[in-house]
Amino acid sequence: MPEGPSVRRFHRLVSPFVGQKVVKTGGSSKKLNPASFQSLWFQDVQVRLVLHFNGGGFLAFYSCQMSWSPPPEVEPTCDILSDKFHRGQALEALRQAQPVCYTLLDQRYFSGLGNIIKNEALYRAGIHPLSLGSLLSSSSLEALMNHVVEFSSDWLRDKLQGKERHTQIYNKEQCPSGHQVMKESFGPPGRLQRLTWWCPQCQPRLPSEEPKNLLSS
């Protein structure tokens, strides 16, 4: 699943076509018939089909999976890149008695937050990914929230300017301080396990935590 900054960049690129009518179609999609889009109106943008619009422009979708679906219900208060993002609601979710790396990927509270943002925000905040949110201080959770929003916003800005994304811990062997980075898959029991990178020196475990009971890989 693409992360928030990638989806938001796509949204900005295709938004000018909202409200226009499809006058011509093309492409090689086998799942959906491109001709079925002709004469339809492009009503909204929700983030190998070609749609030509009456305004003169066109959109091309390459190597993507397509299907008909009802319009999704998007809560801007959960969107980490929205001006309406509800920080209080997100902080309350982070205070749960479960590893913060689980909560960060919960799209009910952090829509658009993916694995890269998760890893980068935790490293910048100096928080071990398996730290229980209920044991972290309010200042630590606030710092984590700030890094989530800051990294996501910076990533979006770089994408819009055509710059490459620079990470400090994601997919690295050493952290910026030169320490050896650990890598393991974490996730709620019975659910998707996501690769996680962290530095044991820069992101130490809390003394009261018991790693044996938390690891789930």
Task: Locate the domains of the chain by residue range.
Answer: 4-60, 76-204
pLDDT tens digits along 167-200: 999 999 999 999 999 999 999 999 989 999 999 9
Mean pLDDT, all residues of the chain: 82
Question: Cα separation of 76 and 84, whole Å?
Answer: 6
Q: Which phi and psi angles does 59 have, rounded to 5°?
A: -120, 140
Q: Which phi and psi angles does 180 have, rounded to 5°?
A: -70, 130
Residue pointed to by tokens 């979708």 = 61
Reported as type and span, the H/E element at residue 26 is strand 22-27
Q: Given this model, what pLDDT does residue 159 score?
A: 86
Q: Which residues pair with 173 in a beta bridge?
A: none
Question: Cα separation of 78 and 55, whole Å?
Answer: 33
Confidence of residue 113 (pLDDT cuts 50, 70, 90): very high
Q: How far apart are the first and last CA of the chain?
A: 20
User: What class does CATH assign to 76-204?
Assistant: mainly alpha
Average the pLDDT over each of 42-56, 71-85, 188-202 and give the range with the smallest value.
42-56
